[in-house]
Amino acid sequence: MQRLQAFKYELRPDGQQERQMRRFAGSCRFVYNKGLALQKERYAQGEKKLGYAGLCKLLTEWRNNAESAWLADAPVHPLQQALKDLERAYSNFFAKRADFPRFKKKGQRDSFRYPDPKQIKLDQGNSRIFLPKLGWLRYRNSREVLGALKNVTVSLNAGKWFVSIQTEREVEQPVPQATTAVGIDMGVTRFATLSDGTFYAPLNSFKRHETALRKAQQAMSRKTKFSNNWKKAKARVQRIHSRIGNARRDFLHKTSTAISQNHAMVSIEDLQVRNMSRSAAGTTEQPGRNVRAKSGLNKSILDQGWFEFRRQLDYKLAWQGGWLVAVPPQNTSRSCPCCGHVSADNRQTQARFECVGCGYENNADVVGALNILARGHRVAACGEDVSRARPARATYAASVKQEPTEATHCDSMSQ
Ligand SMILES: [Zn+2]
C-alpha cells in the first residue's frame, strides 16, 4: 500500500532567509493574482480561459519584463506552482466543489511550494534542509521523516515559518487490530456520538477564545495603522488565531485517532458541510429561513472542523486497514432502529428519542448513530462503492446517485 504523509517542522531561518521567504511568498501571491485578473479579463471579453501551459509562458514574459523583473529573483518552480494552484481553484469551482477563486491577500496563508525533489536536499542528522535560492535552513527536528521526498511547502503562520515535507513510501497492507463497526452522529451539542454510546464533547475552541480575539481586534483597530503598537497588536491577534487553530487540530487528531484505532469500520453521515456553511441568507428570490439560527449552526460546524475530522478519519482508518463509509443522511434522526418506523414525532425533544410505533427509547444522538451504522452495513453489503472514496465532497455525488440503488436492491428501512 502506498502511503503519502506530510511531516511538518518549524523552521529556524536567519534574517536573510526570512526576508527571502517573505519575498518568495509575495512573488507567488503576485503571480497567482495576476493570473486570476487575466483570466477574469479574458472571460469578460468572451475569450477562452488560458490553460496552465499558456500561463507558464506568460510567467516567463513577466520574469523578463523590466516592470516585474524582481519576479526573476524568486525560484521559478514555486511560481509555476502558484499558477497550478490557480488552475486547481478553477477546476474546483467548475466542479462545484468550491466558490469562485479569490484574490490572495498578504498575511493570509503566505506560502510557496517546491515540487521537484531533485532540487531539495534533506539532512536529517544535522536538522537542516536545502531549498533552491534559500540555501540550507535549520528546522526543529521533532521526528524522523519517513519515505521518499515528493515536495516541500514553506508557510508562514502567526509570525513563524514552517516547512512541510511530503513523502511517499510503500507500507504493508495493514490488518485492522479492531474488529468492531461503529456509526457516528455528528452534532453541535455533542461533537460526535458513537453508536456504542460513547460521545465526544464539543470543542467550541473559537467560542472560548472569541472574547479575547474580539478585544485584541478592537485594540488593533484603535492603533495607527503600521505603527509599532499596531504591529504588536496585530501579532497578538495572530497569536490568538494560531492558538485556536492548534487547540482544534489537537482535539480533532486525538478524537480521530482514538476512533480509528478502536474500530475497523466507521459509518458516517454524508453531510455536505460546504452547503450547510454557505450563506444562510439565501438569495433575493429565495430568502433563507431561520437565517440567524442557521448561521449560528454554520459557525459551530466550521468551528468544530467537521470536514477536517472526516478527512482524518478517512486516512487514519486506511492506515489501520479499516475503512470509512459515508451514507446518505436522510431521516437518520427520525427512524426507529428497533421497528423502522419513521416519524418526526419520534423525536419529541432535541435529546430524547421515543418511538411512537413500538415505544423504543434512547438518547437521540445514539439513535442517529445506530441508524447511520445500519445504513453503513447496508452500503457495505450492497457493494456500493462509497467506502474508500473521500468523504463529503467527492463521495457526495456518488452516494446521491447510488441512493436509489440502495432503495431497490436492499430492504431499506429508511423508506
Ligand atoms: Zn419503533
Number of other CB atoms surrounding residue 270 within 10 Å: 24
Mean pLDDT for the chain?
83
Q: How far apart are the first and last CA of the chain?
A: 39
Question: Residue 292: its pLDDT value, please?
Answer: 52
Kindly give the distance from the C-alpha atom of residue 370 to the centroid of ligand 1, in angstroms, as a whole number: 13
Question: Residue 83: its pLDDT value, please?
Answer: 96
Question: Residue 167: its pLDDT value, please?
Answer: 96
Q: Phi first, then psi: give them for residue 223, nearest 5 degrees.
A: -85, 155
201: nearest Cα among 254, 240, 245, 270: 254
Using pLDDT thresholds of 50, 70 and 90, give the confidence band for residue 330.
confident
112: nearest Cα among 15, 238, 26, 9: 26
Kindly give the distance from the C-alpha atom of residue 413 to the centroid of ligand 1, in angstroms, as a whole number: 11
Question: Residue 294: its pLDDT value, please?
Answer: 53
Highest mean pLDDT among 188-202, 343-357, 360-374: 360-374
Catalytic residue, chosen from 85, 110, 185, 303, is: 185
Question: Residue 204: its pLDDT value, please?
Answer: 67
Any bridge partners for residue 193, and if so which?
185, 199
Kindly give the distance from the C-alpha atom of residue 371 to the centroid of ligand 1, in angstroms, as a whole number: 12
- Give the Cα separation of 174 and 169 in Å (integer): 14
256: nearest Cα among 246, 266, 247: 266
* Alpha-carbon distance values, 68 to 10, 34, 41, 72, 103 (Å): 31, 11, 20, 8, 19
Express the helix, strand and coil content of the chain in percent, nearest 5 each. 50, 20, 35
Question: Residue 303: its pLDDT value, please?
Answer: 60
Using pLDDT thresholds of 50, 70 and 90, give the confidence band for residue 279.
very low
pLDDT at 21 over 90: yes
Kindly give the distance from the C-alpha atom of residue 350 to the centroid of ligand 1, in angstroms, as a whole number: 18
pLDDT at 297 over 80: no
All residues with CB under 5 Å from ion ligand 1: 336, 338-339, 341, 355, 357-358, 360
- Between 246 and 51, where is the model more confident? 51
- Between 280 and 306, where is the model more confident? 306
Minimum mean pLDDT range among 91-95, 145-149, 154-158: 91-95
Minimum mean pLDDT range among 5-14, 159-168, 207-216, 286-295: 286-295
In the residue annotation, 73 being an active-site residue is answered as no
Question: Residue 409: its pLDDT value, please?
Answer: 28
Using pLDDT thresholds of 50, 70 and 90, give the confidence band for residue 221.
very high
pLDDT at 74 over 60: yes
Predicted structure pTM score: 0.72
pLDDT at 407 over 90: no
pLDDT at 333 over 60: yes
Kindly give the distance from the C-alpha atom of residue 182 to the centroid of ligand 1, in angstroms, as a whole number: 21
- Give the Cα separation of 134 and 19 in Å (integer): 10
Mean per-residue pLDDT, 242-254: 86
Using pLDDT thresholds of 50, 70 and 90, give the confidence band for residue 104.
very high
pLDDT at 313 over 60: yes
Kindly give the distance from the C-alpha atom of residue 353 to the centroid of ligand 1, in angstroms, as a whole number: 10
pLDDT at 386 over 50: no
Kindly give the distance from the C-alpha atom of residue 374 to the centroid of ligand 1, in angstroms, as a whole number: 15
Mean per-residue pLDDT, 42-66: 93
Using pLDDT thresholds of 50, 70 and 90, give the confidence band for residue 389.
very low
Catalytic residue, chosen from 85, 270, 314, 365, is: 365
Enclosing H/E stretch for 93: helix 76-94
- Residue ranges per domain, the chain? 2-170, 181-382
Minimum mean pLDDT range among 12-16, 137-141, 248-252, 321-325: 248-252
In the residue annotation, 110 being an active-site residue is answered as no
Kindly give the distance from the C-alpha atom of residue 190 to the centroid of ligand 1, in angstroms, as a whole number: 24
Q: Phi first, then psi: give them for residue 225, nearest 5 degrees.
A: -55, 135
Kindly give the distance from the C-alpha atom of residue 194 to the centroid of ligand 1, in angstroms, as a whole number: 20
| CB proximity list for 61: less than 8 A, separation 6 or greater | none
In the residue annotation, 85 being an active-site residue is answered as no
Question: Residue 206: its pLDDT value, please?
Answer: 63
- Give the Cα separation of 91 and 98 in Å (integer): 9
Which string of DSSP letters, residue by residue, matches 117-185? GGG-EEEGGGTEEEETTTEEEEE---S---SEEEEEEEEEETTEEEEEEEEEEE---PPPS---EEEEE
Residue showing cell 442517529? 368
Mean per-residue pLDDT, 68-77: 93
Kindly give the distance from the C-alpha atom of residue 281 to the centroid of ligand 1, in angstroms, as a whole number: 37
Catalytic residue, chosen from 269, 270, 314, 384, is: 269
Q: How many CA atoms does the CB half-sphere of 178 hold within 13 Å?
A: 20
pLDDT at 399 over 60: no
**21 within 8 A of 107, measured Cβ to Cβ:** no
